[in-house]
Amino acid sequence: MSTTGTDSDAQTAAGLISRSHLGIEPFSLYRADSLTDAASMIASGAWAHAGGIDVAQRLRDGEAAPALVPLCKPGRGSPDGLDLLDEISLGDGVLFIGAAVTHARIETDQLVRAHRPDLADAWRTIGNVRIRSTGTMGGNLMAFDAGYDAAPILAAAGASLIFADADGSQRRCAVADRPRDRLLVGCEIPLAGRIVYDRSLKPVVSVAVGDECVAIGCAYQEVEVLPAGATDPPEVGVALAELPDPIGDAFASAAYRRRMISVLVNRCLQSHIETVGSDEAEETGVSARPTAPASAPSSAEKLRGDTAAPAGRPAKTLPDALAGDAADDSIDIAIRLNGEPFPISAPPSEMLVDTIRTRAGLGGTRVGCDQAVCGACTVLMDDTPTASCSTFAWQTDGREVLTIEASHMAETGAPTADPAATLPIVQWAFAELSAFQCGYCTPGLILTASALLARHRDPDRTTVCDWLDSNICRCTGYLMVIEAVEAAAAALRLESGPAPDETP
């Protein structure tokens, strides 16, 4: 394909036509030093970057960002003054979840599982293991894609969203009323209540049914919220009849979507009834739930303190903070790649997959769908499966990245519970059981399986399938792959005994 015009035109065309990370328009990176600073930048037109999966997709689709404002610093934790965004805590009758909390953490967090296990169950179904480990609740909501999961889940749960303004004030709103030019700090979810979420028909429709409302995703430009829920099923039927026509597109016609909305709503209502009945029957056997210390300030009180504008220093604006040509910017990045230091200087728009393939010359990391879905680009970042096609290189600063070429690390005394130690055994099992053909997807499968077995030495088949269900293989089928993972698990148990049983 030939392109005409300037280099910028060609990059935009590449982004629109091939959705390639190579066509991303250059942008600047701005690290805020306070919540007010970040809110001011976003109000001026910069994009918030939490997990980055949704941001990367928007950029690949041809949108241009003047700047990204990371809400999480490379490595672990948040920038100074933004720790609240990475918090899960209890308040007065509510559960607070910060905007930068990952999907995987919501799924496994002790407070969430103790007080709103229905939310943990719903979050377990989101995306795939790579998306859950990187994507965040806030990034999902601030992307404003009707197909994303956080909006219907939180809307059905009756959550309030908390946004920070550039002047240090805050505002609360419902999920359906969230503003586009403000920094999402987090959400508050009532401790009382129950939701059931069904995304089995995405991208046609997804449905979340709560006690007082029903939320519908995918079928409209924004999440649609019905003012009736599981406590009044007849009113839900009335509200369904009054819904406007859904959108019709390549995925489904409007008529089919309307029919499937009804099917999923009725399915979720029935499941909600069964779930609540089961909970009531077991109520006397429930153990005490963790509570917040009596002296601990609420998240709202912390927010009011953290958003106060620093005395004598005005909030920055986008033109002042980001003067210069973004294309000429570069960032010093200190990656540990396969156990060795790998310092580079790269533009903010460089994806990790290009760093690995072009700069390091490691060809085992492949580019497949370029949308964090197929698994061909999988690497392990801090032992967690990560989509390198949707991860910027600067996100890996100070972190450990493993590729399929890391198998030699097992000979250097890596702990047995380290994926680098399980990697050669998984490779052996794949070879013994012929769990590959063309090999294009195989590195991603092996790395994902190695991360699983490092956490859970004796996974059942359901767990294996849950971890690997988004690693797409066009040649082999999946039975041999599953059997190879089970064989590797058995070999690891024989070699070193069972590892501590961790929830994957």
- Domain limits at 270? 86-282
Q: Which of 264, 282, 300 is the last residue of a domain?
A: 282
Do 385 and 468 belong together in one domain?
yes
Q: Which of 266, 282, 298 is the last residue of a domain?
A: 282
Do 378 and 471 belong together in one domain?
yes
144: Cα separation from own chain's centroid: 14
Do 184 and 108 belong together in one domain?
yes
Rounded to an integer, the average pLDDT of 267-286 is 70
Do 268 and 168 belong together in one domain?
yes
What is the DSSP secondary structure assignment for residue 458, as one 8-state letter?
S
Percent of the chain with pLDDT over 70: 80
Do 277 and 338 belong together in one domain?
no
Is 249 exposed, middle or buried, given 0-12, 13-18 or 19+ CB atoms closer than 10 A?
Answer: exposed
| pLDDT, tens only, 424-477 | 999 999 999 999 989 999 999 999 999 999 998 899 999 999 999 889 988 878
Residue 256 lies in a domain: yes
| pLDDT, tens only, 465-474 | 999 988 998 8
Q: Which of 249, 282, 315 is the last residue of a domain?
A: 282
Q: What is the pLDDT of residue 447?
A: 96
Give CA angle at 72 (342, 164), nearest 5°: 160
Give the lowest-confidence range in 321-335, 359-373, 480-494: 321-335
Number of domains in the chain: 2
Residue 31 lies in a domain: no
Q: Is the pLDDT assigned to residue 341 strictly greater than 60? A: yes
Residues in the chain: 504
* 3-class state of residue 300 by DSSP: helix
Residue 59 lies in a domain: no
Say if CB 466 and CB 459 are below 8 A apart: no
CA distances from 22 to 61, 71, 131, 183, 353 (A): 11, 24, 21, 28, 11
**CATH code where residue 229 lies:** 3.30.465.10
Higher pLDDT, 283 or 197: 197
Do 130 and 255 belong together in one domain?
yes
Q: What is the pLDDT of residue 303?
A: 57
Do 129 and 263 belong together in one domain?
yes
Do 204 and 338 belong together in one domain?
no
Give the lowest-confidence range in 127-131, 138-142, 344-348, 414-418: 414-418
Do 130 and 248 belong together in one domain?
yes
Q: Average pLDDT over the chain, rounded to whole? A: 83
Reported as a pLDDT band with limits 50, 70 and 90, residue 314 is very low
Reported as a pLDDT band with limits 50, 70 and 90, residue 490 is very high
C-alpha distance across the termini of the chain, in Å: 44
List Cβ neighbours of 72 (8 Å cut-off, separation of 6 or more). Answer: 50, 51, 78, 79, 85, 86, 100, 136
Query: pTM of the prediction?
Result: 0.84
Do 342 and 242 belong together in one domain?
no
Q: What is the pLDDT of residue 112?
A: 97
Rounded to an integer, the average pLDDT of 142-156 is 91
Q: What is the pLDDT of residue 274?
A: 87
Q: What is the pLDDT of residue 417?
A: 58
Q: Is the pLDDT assigned to residue 2 strictly greater than 80? A: no
Residue 46 lies in a domain: no
